[in-house]
Amino acid sequence: MFMELAEAKAGTADQSVDPHVSALLAVEGVTMRFGGVTALEDVSFVVAKGAICGLIGPNGAGKTTLFNCISRLYVPHAGAIRFDGNPLASFARHEIASLGIARTFQNVALFATMTTRDNVRVGAHALARGGFLSSALAFPLAGREELRVAERADALIEEFGLNGVADRPAGELPFGVRKRVELARALAIRPKLLLLDEPAAGLNHEEVDALGAEIRAIRDRRGVAILLVEHHMNLVMRVSDQVVALDFGRVIANGSPEAVRANPDVVRAYLGSAG
């Protein structure tokens, strides 16, 4: 296992660092099957603290499945995922957020009837503790927490330029704006790891460029590690420190953007899927 990790790490931006010290996320031999389909097969790689790791692969390669395993929506048939050294298998779905993992969804999963502001506030849910009783009876604790959550949400709404739509129901917003709301919502808990599932889908060229700059800015400002699933190859190669390529559920390349782009298996996988 140790060898495997060291191998997986080889070729990343800073090889000098021991993966066990700097690894934030360690995916270790994860296998996930749906009936006869093997969506992930013995997938291993690590993501360092504060790194941007691109996760690429043709349609059906298993990228979203891996996100769902990290979110504990799926339970892998084999292997383990460690976050900050803790095996995620020992946490329930709803505990993942307070560990510091946040995500967006490939098909945008906003709370459609709620306003933008309330969506972002739900993102900060795990920052507060109060239950039904303290909320119903307006205990001072609930008021203080509510204030903190509100401030947090307002800051993110400001930062992402969502002031104009803050009080509009999220379901009424155009697709591009919904994606921004989802990003703001994901950042509300101050995650250590942010999972972005195709954030550039449906954006035009300029918007994709802007998004690239934004992703880097998010990382630089907050030090959050980002696992980025994208089909826009230019975007991934430009912003990532490390790129992992999946094909039919298997890791076919893992290394610097340049190395992965030049990898013959990667080239073949993409040509194959294009043809």
Partner 1 sequence: MMSGSSGRQRRGVTLAVLACAIAFPFLASGYHLYQGAQVLILAIALLGLNLLTGFNGQISLGHGAFFAIGGYGAAILTEKFGVAYWAAIPIASLVCFGAGFLFGFPALRFGGLYLALATFALAVATPQILSYKGFDAWTGGSQGVLLAKPHAPFGLLTADQWIYLVCLFCAAVLYWAARNLATGRIGRALIAIRDQPIAAETMGVNAALYKTTCFGVSALYAGVAGGLSAIAVGFVSPESFGLSLSLSFLVGIVVGGLASLGGVLFGALFIEFVPNLADQLSVNFGESAKALPGAIYGLLLILIMAAMPTGVAGALRFAARLAAAPGARSS
**Of these, 45, 47, 63, 215, which contacts ligand ATP (CB under 6 A)?**
63
- Using rule CB under 6 A, residue 135 touches ligand ATP: no
- If the CB atoms of residues 19 and 62 are measured against Mg ion, the closer one turns out to be 62
Answer yes or no whether residue 89 interacts with partner 1 by CB under 8 A. no
CB of 257 to ligand ATP, least distance (A): 19
Residue 132 in contact with partner 1, rule: CB under 8 A: yes
Q: Is 95 in the site for partner 1 (CB under 8 A)?
A: yes
Member of 37, 78, 89, 138 binding ligand ATP (CB under 6 A): 37
Residues touching partner 1, count (CB under 8 A):
42
User: Which pair of tokens denotes residue 246?
Assistant: 């999946």
Among 64, 104, 116, 240, binds Mg ion (CB under 5 A): 64
∠ at Cα 74 (64, 216), nearest 5°?
40
Contact string 61-80 vs partner 1 (x = CB under 8 A): ----------x-x-------
Question: Rounded to an integer, what distance in angstroms lies between the CA atom of residue 131 and that of residue 127?
Answer: 13
Q: Rule CB under 5 A: choose which of 22, 106, 256, 263 binds Mg ion.
A: 106
Number of residues in contact with Mg ion under rule CB under 5 A = 2
* Contact between 61 and ligand ATP per CB under 6 A: yes
Considering the complex, what minimum distance in angstroms separates the CB of residue 99 from partner 1? 9
> Does the footprint of ligand ATP cover residue 244 (CB under 6 A)?
no
Per rule CB under 6 A, is residue 70 in the interface with ligand ATP? no
> Does residue number 107 form part of the binding site for ligand ATP (CB under 6 A)?
no
DSSP annotation string for the chain? -HHHHHHHHTTSS-TTS-HHHHEEEEEEEEEEEETTEEEEEEEEEEEETT-EEEEE-STTSSHHHHHHHHTTSS--SEEEEEETTEEGGGS-GGGHHHHTEEE--TT----TTSBHHHHHHHHTGGG----HHHHHTT-HHHHHHHHHHHHHHHHHHHHTT-GGGTTSBGGGS-HHHHHHHHHHHHHTT--SEEEEESTTTT--HHHHHHHHHHHHHHHHHH--EEEEE-S-HHHHHHH-SEEEEEETTEEEEEE-HHHHHH-HHHHHHHHHHH-
Which residues of the chain form contacts with partner 1 (CB under 8 A)? 71, 73, 92-98, 102-103, 105, 109-115, 117-118, 121-123, 125-126, 128, 130-132, 135-138, 142, 145-146, 149, 167, 172, 185, 189
Which residues of the chain form contacts with Mg ion (CB under 5 A)? 64, 106
